[in-house]
Structure 1
Amino acid sequence: MLLLAVDTATPAVTVALHDGESVVAESNQVDARRHGELLLPSVDKVLAEAGVTLEAVTGVVVGVGPGPYTGLRVGLVTASTFAAVLGVPVHGLCTLDGLAYAAGIEGPFIVATDARRKEVYWARYEDPRTRVGEPAVDRPADIAEQVAGLPAVGQGALLYPEVFTDARNPEHQSAAAMASLAAERLAAGLEFLPPTPLYLRRPDAQVPKNYKVVTPQ
């Protein structure tokens, strides 16, 4: 087994290779505006570090979000393209699940990432592998009672310490953690999400209303 994991649903451009036993190479860069520019060189870097070619990959793991439209689709399109070219399966994982697994907190806790517009994408977890309910997007103040007193990880938690009063690392997503979680799930025969984006809201870019229609003369 050789899993290639990628995630671009957060400001992190993160890539890792997992051989079924452990992570053999990884790359992590944080730049919310350069997902498309950084992802493929990151893939090349981890392949070179592991001393393998892309053809050795037996499965692709991709973070499906939630995340902003532009960054999220970079990873999803790349993962789906690799899978199609190689003829291997592509396994979707919730990005928040990867952060929860990396956190390794036992007992109830929160994962929250930055959703911009003064909102967070968030979910509650009972342990690193068990999410309670579906991810949501909210203003931190609106969920203050639900998260009160609970440990919280992710950039969203660190941005709003007045709500997430026990904010902790990791701040950003790790493809290494996501690959390790995927390897566990594959070994256990568990299902994955389809490689489709989990947006939770409309994209920031919108078609202008009441725009002037110009027709040829």
Structure 2
Amino acid sequence: MAFAAMAPPVSRWMSAEELSRLAEMRAEQRAEQFAAGRWLARRLLAVTLGGDASEWMLSAAEDAPPVATHSGGAVGMPIFVSIAHSGDHLACAVSDMPVGVDIEALQPRKHLGTLIEATTTEAERAALPELIAGGDDEARMVAFFQLWTLKEAWIKCHGGSLFQTMIGHVVEAVPAPLEAANGLTWRRKDAVLALAAALPVGDIDLPDAMSWRLVSRETVD
């Protein structure tokens, strides 16, 4: 991964907790993804909130999103971080409110129709006619990955089980005006990127983004 190669040696900026977790990774690609994501997060924290990238510390619990702190204690508010990777693709978001990000490479899936039927609701299929069989295969795949990445981003923001969220339809996502949206998706060549936030993202005006409203099914039903 090119971004991992751009980072300084990990011993200069990773915490002991992160280095321990990195050492346990046997797959080279997974280790590179981990290092690249952690460095990207620090760069983004430095650009957004100040300080040098190496001054930012990230927790490294395997079952929880990273928590960011500044070594100088200059930032008193909670900082939420989300990191995602898929193959050579990498994404990161930092915010002063809970946030989740996901990215997926656009690759054909076997039994896509069955996956769509199992993981989407009637309202989602009605809002996205591209999901229906018989149309443009690429548009159908993109629509599926938009919903999939949105729901994975929602899990990272709110917590929950991947299986229960996807198969149990815990959350529903439909296109919405930006001022009412709490989710965004982008198509970037051979990948789809999604962002989910705890509050509306109306002040995030990014080109080419599609805006969505994600609602808990407890609220819908």
Which TM-score band (shorter chain)? Answer: under 0.3
Q: Which has the higher contact order (CA 8 A, sep 6+)?
A: 1
Normalised TM-score (structure 2): 0.25
**If the length of structure 1 is used for normalisation, what is the TM-score?**
0.26
Structure number having the greater strand percentage: 1
